[in-house]
Amino acid sequence: MDHKKNWRLKNINALLIVVVVIISLGVFAFAGMTIINTDNLATYTAEIYSRPYAVNNAAWQMRAQILFARNTMLNLLLDDEYGVDAEEKLQALYKMREEIPGLEQTLQTQYEGDEETVARLISEVERLRRLHDECIELIKAGNIREAGEILYGSAYPLYSAAEMHAQELIGHSQEKIDAYVAQSYALNEQTNQLALIWGLALVALAVLLSVVSVRTITKRNGDIFRSNTLFRIISENVDDVFIVYDIARKSVEYVSDNAERILGFSPSEYRGDPPLAREYLDEKTFRRLRDHFWDAEGGEIQEELFLMTDPKTGSRRECISRRYPIVENGKITKAVFVTSDLTEQKRTQNMLRTALERAENANVAKREFLSRMSHEIRTPMNAMTGTLRAMEYDIDNSGKMKEHLRKLNMSAMHLLDLINDILDMSRIESGKIQIESRPFSLNAMLSELTDIMQTKAEENRQAFNVLLKSTSCDMVKGDDTRIKQVLLNFLSNAIKFTPPHGKIRMSVEEIERRGNQVLLKFEVRDTGIGMHEEFLKRLFEPFEQEQNSTYRKYGGTGLGMALSKALVESMGGEIMVESVPDMGSVFSFCLWLEAAGAGGSSVQISDKVKNLRVLVIEDDEEMREHLKLQCRQLGVEAEAVASGLEAVRTLRKTKRKFDLCLIDLYMPDVDGIHTAEWIRKSAGKDTFIVLMSAYDHKKIEKEAVAAGVDAFLTKPVMRADIYRVLQDMSGEEVMVSEEDGMEDYDFAGKRLLIAEDNELNMEVAQELCEHVGFEVECAYNGKIAVEMFERSPVGYYDAILMDVHMPVMNGNEAAQTIRNLKRKDAGSVVIIAMTANAFYEDEVEALKSGMNAHMAKPIEPEAIFAALKKFLYDNREE
């Protein structure tokens, strides 16, 4: 029996040796094949660079020389006089000529195609050089016209011929390069196929070797079996993993069956492959634990904490292991390790710690928010109290009084916006936010945003631009108020966090269209201070700012971005943010909106204006497209070029003159003033020239007017700006379909009952309502209002404005009492709530009590008059 076992072991060892030898031979063969193919690839690469690549490069450079010479000669012709700039251009031309002999030498010696093509190219280049020299002498002598005749009559055909021959050389050399590349690809494909075959063979042999090794290792000792049984019973009742090491043999005798559940690897895997633990530990931890495991001298109990990482899932476990040595005959022969997983215990502790930190952070955030809110509220309040005191001093100065009233209104609106932001956050958190859908003009919305933000951008010396990109319609349906609210938040932050001379750009781009549905991307881009990646994760949390120093320096409540995110998501979109510290940020969101009309424009103009032609000169490609789109929406024909030189060429080529030129002031080659001067000389006085700039034009106004500029526009230039210019040119009046200004209300003959307990509020409301024709009667609480209505004849009161919080009887109780009265007009009289309770629940309660509408204080007179008109006139006509 023992002889049979030894024979099997010998056969197994022989098989292992054969497998190793075969694998080694396969590796050597594969390495040799790879080296040969690599040498072949190197040869092909050398061939490519020695001839076809050199010819291709020389031909391209020769073509570039020809184009550069042509452009240089054209520039010399366009210059008013021969000066220092012209001499610099000639020196550059002469310097480039020095490279031509070397390029010709390369083409003559390396080109493998028709040598006649090279000879013709060299001949044409030489003839061009002589013609250029002749033209240069004429230009220096002031004979521009004669030089132009030579250049356009003799040189231009040679330009085309030389460029054609150079292109022929490029094409031929490229074909050679492609052929070499194709051979390289074929060789690489062959190498890959052989590598796959060899790899599969080696894998198969490796698998065979692994199978044989596993079968050999699985032979177990009887003593180990009994130990396993003992430890299995123990491990079934505890959450500790038991591992027995034989220190003398440096092997694993036993691993309890709960190892996989607790540590992540099965007992059989670990017993068969003890170094398996290396995959779960970093190198330092592995060495430390290994040294303790195999320590034959340490007789005391040792304890180690370490971190394990599952290589398959990446999950991490915090573990503790205790070593119990087993002494036999005075020597440590074995050791038992009891290992426990502390992950859940640590996780529970961390969760408790995190919950505590979050609670503390929430309290800190709320305290900071209250502090910020106090500052934000006190700021406009301080302005209001100071303005009121100033009004006492200037009460006889009507001009200053108007300015004081304007400041008071601005401060009040700022305070109202702040309160509305907080209310919006409350509505959003309770799921009560209302999103409307109504037609609006994208152009009008952008113009309104421009009017609001441009002054602040100019004060900060920032370049502010607005773009419409590829939009097929101007009129769409959606909640323009909420969209503007989000964009205003973006723009306010951009202006706030962008330093002077920085750039801010707002754009609207049509991404996709499906039927009458359009996907629009709204974007605000700035070159401001940016944000760190860590802060982006909590950017949209309420009351958050990147640092307290940010609040101290720039102000703000930390509500804007949280509110913007919630509003965009309520409209079915998602906010996207990209930001790099000290480089800037990009905020954007996409919304599906319904196209509200085929034409899309809210502005109508006469045929006389539509017949005007516009030339846009702007180096920024996106801005060119934006200005063309603005003209197209007005029904005006427009062309766009990228530079002053292109503009001059376009004016010379066109058969029909341009009536209006819109010129950017700052362009890289020729600035707007010189371009305007060229255009004025070329087109005469019939063309109206407008200079556009993102900055104040006063410093260059005198120079620009002298050059021929008729008017100035400050960027961003919108449709209304262009239309005003066209209106000035044609003398036509604007016909706008949208209504402008406030409506004139006339409620003469209508009687109004106002229930308000605050005497000052009552006086203001009474005065405003009498101003539009109402006959007003007053009640100072809900009970008096009910009694006055009950005593009045049927139909005496047309409407009631009802405050909600009043003594004796509140507004909701009063409205419900009136509705329950047994009289004909009790159910038809209009009752509108006027209250400082602005939450959704307050509105629901007011409507439930019988009121027709709910309006939150402070109420704009326009809003209350519009509501009264709707109920008293519009609804009854229907």
What pLDDT does 796 receive? Answer: 94
The pLDDT of residue 403 is: 73
For 736, what's the count of Cα atoms within 13 Å in the CB-facing half-sphere? Answer: 12
Instruction: Determine the pLDDT at residue 826.
Output: 92
Both structure tokens of 370: 């209250």
Supply 768's token pair: 């405003």
Q: Do domains 348-429 and 603-736 have the same CATH topology?
A: no
Helix (H, G, I), strand (E, B) or coil at 753: strand
Separation between Cα atoms, residue 257 and residue 266, nearest integer Å: 7
- pLDDT above 70 covers a percentage of the chain that reads 78
Give the rounded distance of the alpha carbon of 704 from its chain centre. 37
Res 782: pLDDT: 93
pLDDT digits (tens, 9 = 90+) for 16-55: 676 667 767 767 776 776 777 666 666 656 666 566 777 7
Q: Is the peptide bond before 716 cis (omega within 30 degrees of 0)?
A: yes
Query: What fold is seen in the domain 222-341?
Result: Beta-Lactamase (3.30.450)
Contact criterion met (CB below 8 Å) for 519 and 592: yes
**Res 616: pLDDT:** 93
Structure tokens at 377: 């509220």
The residues, any chain, with a CB within 8 Å of residue 641's CB and separated by 6 or more, are 615, 616, 617, 647, 650
Q: Which H or E run contains 302?
A: strand 302-309
**pLDDT per residue as tens digits for the range 686-744:** 889 999 887 767 788 889 998 889 988 888 888 888 888 888 787 665 444 443 444 67
What is the pLDDT, as a whole number, of residue 752?
A: 94
- Residue 777 class from Cβ within 10 Å (0-12 exposed, 13-18 middle, 19+ buried)? middle
- What integer pLDDT is reported at residue 296 of this predicted model? 58
Q: Which amino acid is at 207?
A: V
Work out the mean pLDDT of the chain and round it to a whole number.
Answer: 78
Answer for the pair 588, 523: CB distance below 8 angstroms, yes or no.
yes
Give the pLDDT score at 6: 46
How does 717-734 read in b/e, with b if 16+ C-beta sit within 10 Å? bbbbbbbebbeebbeeee
CATH of 348-429, one of 1.10.287.130, 1.10.260.40, 1.10.645.10, 3.40.50.720: 1.10.287.130
Can you say how many angstroms the Cα of residue 468 is from the centroid of all Cα atoms in its chain? 16
CA–CA separation, 675 and 216 (whole Å): 89
Lookup: tokens for 4? 């049979």
Domain boundaries, the chain: 1-219, 222-341, 348-429, 438-595, 603-736, 751-877
C-alpha to C-alpha distance for 77 and 83, rounded to whole angstroms: 12
What is the model's pLDDT at position 557? 53
Q: Which two tokens stand for residue 351?
A: 């969760």
Choose the CATH number for 603-736 among 3.40.50.2300, 3.40.50.1100, 3.40.50.720, 3.20.20.480: 3.40.50.2300
Spell out the CATH class of 751-877.
alpha beta
Q: Rounded to whole angstroms, how far apart are CA atoms 51 and 46? A: 9
- Rounded to an integer, what distance in angstroms lies between the CA atom of residue 484 and that of residue 479? 9
User: So what's the pLDDT on residue 59?
Assistant: 75
Residues 658-679: tens digit of each pLDDT: 889 999 988 888 889 999 999 8
With a cut of 50, list the residues of the chain below it in pLDDT: 1-9, 548-555, 598-600, 734-742, 878
Q: Which of 513, 434, 523 is nearest to 479 (CA)?
A: 434
CA R_g for the chain: 43
Locate 308 and state its tokens: 């394990």
Model pLDDT, residue 298 = 63
- Look-up: residue for tokens 């602005």? 838
Question: Could you tell me which CATH number the domain at 438-595 has?
Answer: 3.30.565.10
How high is the pLDDT of residue 735? 45
Q: What is the pLDDT of residue 741?
A: 41
Contact 475, 596 (CB under 8 A): yes
What does the pLDDT look like over 786-843, one tens digit per residue?
999 999 999 999 999 999 888 899 999 999 999 999 999 999 999 999 877 666 677 8
Q: If 0-12 CB within 10 Å is exposed, 13-18 middle and 19+ buried, where does residue 349 land?
A: exposed
